[in-house]
Structure 1
């Protein structure tokens, strides 16, 4: 397998999942500005939408969209327990967490990464939306659970961790959400996550 990635963005969640299941995979860095890969490929031919992650399987098929790729990888190694079995209520809950991360938390960071940043009332509105996402994540973790699904680390955590970590990039202090702050630190301390951060050049 080959993962097309850019350091620190949502492809990192897939990178973590690949590492957690002990997969045999190659990495190909993508410059999202030029849509060119590290080896000189035109990335738009791999994903016409132009964003990562993209996971090329051994047979040549390319999978897109982090939530779908994460579940696929978990299912290739069920003993990893990175996802509950398909068809169970627990799997539905996992999908709920993945969809929340994609449609609410991830999307709410969008204005702060735009070429033209929001200002004034528009920035306040965008920040309020983002904060409401962190409020929801804080409420999920408020019962003392270690991870989104309870005590078991799953692919939902890989995605939540990456997106929540973007708070550092925009200067958002996670202190108002202490359980989220602990969650981010807990996931960051996992050995396989540390390996991924080092490979992406985000940790010395």
Structure 2
């Protein structure tokens, strides 16, 4: 398998899952401005969407969209318990969490990454994120991970997105549950390996 990524972007989530699952993979960096990969290839030939992540399977099939990719990866190593069994109510609860992270958190950061976004729009985005952080913090109040006792692919995605609060100067101190959660996830060996590979930690 080959993962196409940009360091620190949402593609960090499947990289974490690949390590958690113990799956072998290669990776190739993408310049999202030019859509050219580090080997000089046109990334749009891999993923017409032009954004990361994309996962090329050994069969040649291509998966895009992080929530789909991480569930596929979890299903390749069911013994790791990174996702509940397909068809179970818990699996649909996991899908609900992945959709919440993608639509309510991930996309709410988008205006903050654009330098020409008006300040009023930025403040609206920060206010929206704060309300979503309230919901997530409440969920993590009495359990270590989003699905309970077990780390899941939803945690890989949430950890990735919450890391963006640092460059966006969003202070998480008002949500101590989130701060503790970030430390807990960051201490996992698979997460440390993924961060090192992307040059995000030394």
| Pair in the same fold by TM > 0.5 | yes
RMSD: 0.8
1:40 aligned partner: 40
1:155 aligned partner: 153
Distance, in Å, in 1 between the alignment partners of 2:124 and 2:73 is 36
Distance, in Å, in 1 between the alignment partners of 2:4 and 2:191 is 18
Higher mean alpha-carbon deviation, 191-200 vs 133-142, is at 133-142
Distance, in Å, in 1 between the alignment partners of 2:188 and 2:113 is 27
2:5 aligned partner: 5
Contact persistence 2:111–2:121 (CA under 8 A): no
SS at match of 1:169: coil
Q: Which runs of 5+ in 2 are unaligned?
A: none
Higher mean alpha-carbon deviation, 3-12 vs 133-142, is at 133-142
Contact persistence 1:13–1:66 (CA under 8 A): yes
Distance, in Å, in 2 between the alignment partners of 1:31 and 1:85 is 36
Give the alignment of 1:14-163 within 5 angstroms: 14-119=14-119, 121-142=120-141, 144-163=142-161
Q: TM-score, with normalisation over the residues of structure 2?
A: 0.98
SS at match of 1:125: helix
Higher mean alpha-carbon deviation, 24-33 vs 126-135, is at 126-135
Distance, in Å, in 1 between the alignment partners of 2:96 and 2:90 is 10
1:164 aligned partner: 162
Distance, in Å, in 2 between the alignment partners of 1:122 and 1:115 is 12
Deviation at residue 118 of structure 1 after TM alignment? 2.7
Q: Which runs of 5+ in 1 are unaligned?
A: none
